[in-house]
Amino acid sequence: MTRGGAVSEDITIAQAVAMMSGATDTLLGDSLDAIGDDEFIAVMRDYETSKRRMAAVEHRFIDQVIARALPEKAGYKNHTATYLQALLHLSNGDARARVNAAQLLGVRQEGGQLVEPWLAWTAAVQEQGMISPDHARAIGKIMRRIPTKVDPALRDEAEYQLAHFATRSTPDDLPKVGDRILAYLDPDGTLTDETDRQARRGLTLGKQGVDGMSTLTAELTPQLRAVLDPIFASLGRPGMCNADDPQSPWHTDGLDTDALKEAARRDNRSTAQRNHDALLAFLRPELAPTPGSHRGLPVSTIITMSLAEVEAAAGVATTASGGTVPIEEALQLAEKSHPFLAIFDHHGRPLHLGDTKRMASSHQRMALIAAERGCTRPGCNAPATLTAVHHVTEWSKGGLTDIENLTLACDSCHALVGDGPKQWKTVVMPPDSEHAGRIGWIAPHHLDPTGTPRVNDRHHAGELLAASLAKTRTRARPRPPVRWWSRP
């Protein structure tokens, strides 16, 4: 049996499985009630790590099933998933998922030699219990989308970045990070091909049903998406444009925030329903709601792009709602816009922009949108349109309304910040940090006993990949440090 690179002759595989079965009996039979909260959290984390590592064991089992030709011996020629389905009473989907995972994350044999998995970085962190099967599946989907023309070194770097992100985030975060990486890897290819996008664009209003309802199906261009997002963010927020509430606000100019909060508490609509009502209100001339302002800024499409991207007329720009727009289309939208110039330091933070008032100015908010693009709490996917400006050092404690002391936080994350033992803290990362000048969040002790400040990479995947690639051009990145796949 092998563990952590060491070989033990005392325990066989069969004995290890029997021990695991006995441990499961203990876990099912003993009461958890006597364990204190801190110990229970630690036990639950250790259990999750062990369970995740077992997925890597499954890859080894499936590899043996194939190597021993067990499906063929049982009459299931070239149907490994069907064999597993019959043998282990699995669903068809589960059996196929396990085989697919083993093909991507398990060892391979070529010419009698063991070869590293196709997704070696992902497999390495999975065996350490740092990511779940859902993480691994998400990474696999993203890697399959990378065009074959991409240089193998860039492909390997992309997988390393995805595996690295996965250890610090949820599987739900990965598709957005993957989109950023794909946009960086292929800025002028299929991801930003204008002819292809225009050919796919369309909006189809389905036949009206007997109940009067209709289905709307659409393929939106980045331009139309960028225009609609701020409308939904403003008129589609809880409490706004609610036809079932006579006191619901329909205008954001001079909006009474207390009245909106009360209307939001009465609002039981889903996000989809709120978006529907916002679009209806925006299009009906007799209602004529004005978008007005949203979180201190006029409701408009806010697009961020770098000088290098403008000069090259290539790549993708970023919207305040977290979307992307090809540079050429972004420049077309900018032709009739009111430009705002923000200058950043080499760490990507805005240079000094101060104010003597407690509330951040609209210029400060726009600078933060350009720099941070969304909520800065690690793992949060809220775009800038759903955030408020937060003082890193609170105003009541002497914190200034200077750009260096401001960050973006969505309402739910903002509510987590405080001085209590169960609350989060925010700090400015020090100059010697990898993320100098950015805003770090310190989780409460029960979530992270180390108290290490962490930044949110969710909105900056493209930049992080570019910086990482710059490093790999000067020095070759080693393969995963331990050749764990070559073990007997």
Query: Is the confidence at residue 354, as pLDDT, over 70?
Result: no
Cα gap 78→59, rounded to integer Å:
17
Is 181 part of a structural domain of the chain?
Answer: yes
Q: How far apart are CA 119 and CA 104, in angstroms?
A: 6
CA 16-21-25 angle, to 5 degrees, is: 145
How much is the average pLDDT of 5-22? Answer: 77
Q: How confident is the model at residue 284 (pLDDT cuts 50, 70, 90)?
A: low
Q: Are residues 458 and 318 in the same domain?
A: no
Query: Rounded to the nearest 10 degrees, how much is the dihedral formed by the CA atoms of 310, 467, 222, 152?
Result: 110
What DSSP string describes 10-69?
S--HHHHHHHHHHHHHHHHHS-STTS-HHHHHHHHHHHHHHHHHHHHHHHHHHHHHHHTT
- Residue 301 included in any domain: yes
- In this structure, the answer to whether residues 287 and 240 fall within a common structural domain is yes
For residue 481, the model assigns a pLDDT of 47
pLDDT tens digits, one per residue of 70-93: 999 988 877 899 999 999 999 988
Q: Are residues 324 and 366 in the same domain?
A: no
The CATH code of the domain that includes 380 is 1.10.30
In a domain, residue 223? The reply is: yes
State the DSSP H helix or E strand holding residue 441, giving kind and residue range, or none if neither: strand 439-442
User: What is the residue whose two structure tokens read 């009474």?
Assistant: 256
- The CA-based diameter of the chain, rounded to the nearest angstrom, is 81
DSSP 7: E
Give yes or no for residue 312 having a pLDDT over 70. Answer: no
pLDDT of residue 87: 92
Radius of gyration of the chain (CA): 26
* Residue 250 within a domain: yes
How far, in whole angstroms, is CA 89 from its chain's centroid? 34
Cβ–Cβ < 8 Å for 210, 253: no
pLDDT at 323 over 70: no
pTM summary value: 0.59
235: CB partners within 8 A, 6+ apart: 241, 252, 277, 278, 281, 282, 289, 291
Looking at the structure, tell me whether residues 161 and 280 fall in a common domain: no
Q: What is the pLDDT of residue 484?
A: 44
Q: Which two three-digit tokens encode residue 484?
A: 């764990």
DSSP three-state, residue 251: coil
| Structure letter (DSSP) for residue 470 | H
Q: Average of pLDDT values for 414-422?
A: 87
Region of residue 14 (left: phi > 0; alpha: psi -120 to 50; beta: else) = alpha
Q: Which two tokens stand for residue 320?
A: 């305040």
d(CA 303, CA 340): 10
Domain count, the chain: 3
Structure tokens at 134: 């859902």
Residues 72 and 160 in one domain: yes
Per residue in 143-196, pLDDT (tens digit) is: 988 877 788 888 888 898 899 888 888 888 888 778 777 777 776 555 445 666
Is 349 among the domain residues?
A: no
Between 391 and 133, name the one with better pLDDT: 133
Nearest to 305 by CA among 326, 274, 277, 276: 326
Q: Are residues 35 and 182 in the same domain?
A: yes
How much is the mean pLDDT over the chain?
77
Indicate the residue among 186, 207, 240 that finishes a domain: 186
The fraction of the chain above a pLDDT of 90, given in percent, is 19
What is the DSSP-derived secondary structure letter of residue 480? Answer: P
Query: Angle formed by the axes of helices 120-127 and 37-67, to 10°?
Result: 130
**Nearest-angstrom CA–CA distance, 251 and 290:** 6
- The backbone region for 207, taken as left when phi is positive above 0, alpha when psi lies in -120 to 50, beta otherwise, is beta
Question: What integer is the mean pLDDT of 232-244?
Answer: 87
Q: How many CB atoms lie within 10 A of CB 258?
A: 8
Cα separation, 188 vs 438, in Å, equals 30
Both 381 and 332 in one domain: the answer is: no
Whether 37 and 146 map to the same domain: the answer is yes
Could you list the residue range(s) of the whole structural domain that residue 448 is in? 362-470
Query: In this structure, are 167 and 249 located in the same domain?
Result: no
- Provide the token pair at 342: 């923000």
Contacts 24+ apart (CB under 8 A), 33-41: 37/446, 38/446, 41/446
Q: Which of 156, 78, 71 is nearest to 116 (CA)?
A: 156
Which has the closest alpha carbon to 271: 382, 157, 162, 400? 382
